[in-house]
Chains A and B, each alone.
Chain A
Amino acid sequence: MPELTLEPISRTTLALYAGASGDHNPVHIDIDAAKEAGFSDVFAQGMLIMTYLGRVLTNAVPQLDLREFGVQFVAITHVHERLICCARVESVEPIAGEDILILGLEVSNHVGEIKLKGDAKIVRQHVANSE
């Protein structure tokens, strides 16, 4: 599946994602709050990065074919980091009468530091013979 390369993470993005998601945790949007919590700067919401990884899937297949999507949060994403999201089909398994593609997923930065590792299950659609 095609990789998704993202623009460097901006503070604007963190602020808009906080509003859109309803996650108002100030460590992601307010540098004073981040410092009070012991961080040197604001950092990205884990779910924002998971959402970017989801775009690799919805860019490739109809969203209604997505059965399952999971990630482990491995490392924090900092402001200005450049992320690459990728997905790879690892196997096909018959589950409950459907062919399910099992995918391995990963988000890393441009020097290869892994941010998220994940997996997904997608229904494989068989194209019907044209009439």
Chain B
Amino acid sequence: MKSILSMGNPMFDKRLIGKKYPPVIFPVDAGRIRFFAKATGQTDPIYFDEKKAQQRGHPALLAPPTFLTVVGMAQDDPFPHVADLNVPLSKLLYASQRYCYHAPVYAGDTISLVSEINDMFDKKDGALQFCVIKQSCTNQDERLVAELYGTLVLPS
């Protein structure tokens, strides 16, 4: 039996689980890596200096661990799934974020990111609804570089 607390918002439509969105194509350029690294207080030269990156065995500047967040943001609407959830973006909170790394990302790569509604569940008898968005990132060689899981929560 749903508690009275869950009466505030309609439940997410679980038929959306598995829905995929059109890919976001993002060329990774050295300038953006440098900007991101500098803005987040990185100092290691592998994120700034191509010669030093190559001395350390990298083909080009290395994108830092959370750089792929930039790819998801690089579209007119970074949250296409929110329209389907039928909830204003301002009501959703960011609950968690996870990166699963399979291969490095370098300046010069082109990343293709596909978002998918991965899961929906609720806690506290429906008072908290969660939606997990999986973002699969592949590079120009069609190699899977990372899988990102972002969980949104709708409190009632």
- What are 5 A-to-B residue pairs whose CB atoms are below 8 Å? A51-B40, A52-B41, A58-B42, A71-B96, A73-B93
> Does A66 contact B90, Cβ atoms closer than 8 Å?
no
> Does A71 contact B104, Cβ atoms closer than 8 Å?
no
Residues of B within 8 A of A (CB): 32, 35-36, 38-42, 44, 46, 62, 64-66, 69-70, 73-74, 78, 90, 93-101, 104, 149
> Does A55 contact B104, Cβ atoms closer than 8 Å?
no
Using A6-B41, A70-B97 as known contacts, list a sample of 18 further A-B pairs with CB atoms less than 8 Å apart, ordered by residue number in A.
A19-B35, A20-B39, A21-B69, A21-B70, A22-B69, A23-B78, A46-B94, A52-B40, A54-B66, A58-B42, A68-B98, A68-B100, A69-B66, A69-B101, A70-B98, A70-B99, A72-B95, A73-B94
Instruction: Decide if A114 is an interface residue (CB 8 Å cutoff).
Output: no
Instruction: Decide if A89 is an interface residue (CB 8 Å cutoff).
Output: no
> Which residues of the partner chain B approach A47 to less than 8 Å between Cβ atoms?
66, 69, 97
> Which residues of the partner chain B approach A51 to less than 8 Å between Cβ atoms?
40, 64-66
**Nearest 4 Cβ contacts at the A-B interface:** A22-B73, A70-B98, A20-B39, A16-B39
Q: Contacting A21 at CB < 8 Å: which of B36, B44, B95?
A: B36
Q: In chain B, what residue has the closest Cβ to A36?
A: B90
Count of chain A residues with a beta carbon within 8 Å of a chain B beta carbon: 31
Q: In chain A, what residue has the closest Cβ to B100?
A: A68
Q: In chain A, what residue has the closest Cβ to B150?
A: A47
Residues of A within 8 A of B (CB): 6, 13, 16-17, 19-24, 37, 46-48, 50-52, 54-55, 57-58, 63-64, 66-73
> Does A20 contact B65, Cβ atoms closer than 8 Å?
no
> Does B98 contact A55, Cβ atoms closer than 8 Å?
no
> Does B101 contact A67, Cβ atoms closer than 8 Å?
yes
> Does A54 contact B65, Cβ atoms closer than 8 Å?
yes
> Does B66 contact A66, Cβ atoms closer than 8 Å?
no
> Which residues of the partner chain A approach B39 to less than 8 Å between Cβ atoms?
13, 16-17, 19-21
> Does B44 contact A58, Cβ atoms closer than 8 Å?
yes
> Does B101 contact A17, Cβ atoms closer than 8 Å?
no
> Which residues of the partner chain A approach B66 to less than 8 Å between Cβ atoms?
47, 50-51, 54, 69
> Does A22 contact B70, Cβ atoms closer than 8 Å?
yes
> Does B73 contact A23, Cβ atoms closer than 8 Å?
yes
> Does A73 contact B35, Cβ atoms closer than 8 Å?
no
A39 to chain B, nearest CB (A): 11
Q: In chain B, what residue has the closest Cβ to A68?
A: B100
